[in-house]
Amino acid sequence: MSKLINLVQKLPEACLDSVINYVEGIVEEENAEDKPVPHCPHCGLNAKRNGHKEGVQRFKCKTCGKTFGETTNTIMYNSHCGEAAWKQVIRDTVDGIPLDATADALALSHSTVFNMRHKILLALEAEEMRNPTVLDGVCELDDTYVLESFKGTKISEKYWRKPRKHGAVAKKRGLSNEYICISTGVQRDGEAYSQTVTRSTPSKDDIAMVFKGHIGEAALIMCDGAENYDALCESCGSAVMNVTEENRGGFSHINTVNGFHSFIKDRYNDYRGVATKYLNRYNVLFSKVFRGNSDLVDKIFDTLRSNSAQRFHSIKDVKALNLLDI
What confidence score (pLDDT) does residue 322 get? Answer: 92
Pick 242 or 158 by higher pLDDT.
158
Distance CA 184, CA 146 (A): 13
Residue limits of CATH 3.30.420.10 in the chain:
138-294
What confidence score (pLDDT) does residue 249 get? Answer: 61
The single-letter code of the amino acid at 182 is: I
Residue 31 pLDDT > 60, yes or no? no
Q: What is the pTM of this model?
A: 0.80
CATH 3.30.420.10 for domain 138-294 = yes
What confidence score (pLDDT) does residue 69 get? Answer: 76
Residue 39 pLDDT > 70, yes or no? yes
Q: With b meaning 16 or more CB within 10 Å and e meaning fewer, what string describes 209-228?
A: bbbeebbeeebbbbbbebeb
The dihedral formed by the CA atoms of 19, 25, 29 and 31, expressed in degrees to the nearest 10: 100
Residue 245 pLDDT > 70, yes or no? no
Identify which of 193-197, 288-292, 309-313 has the greatest average pLDDT. 193-197
What share of the chain has pLDDT > 90, as a percent? Answer: 40
Identify which of 59-68, 116-125, 151-160, 247-256 has the greatest average pLDDT. 116-125
Residue 193 pLDDT > 90, yes or no? yes
Pick 310 or 313 by higher pLDDT.
313
Residue 186 pLDDT > 90, yes or no? yes
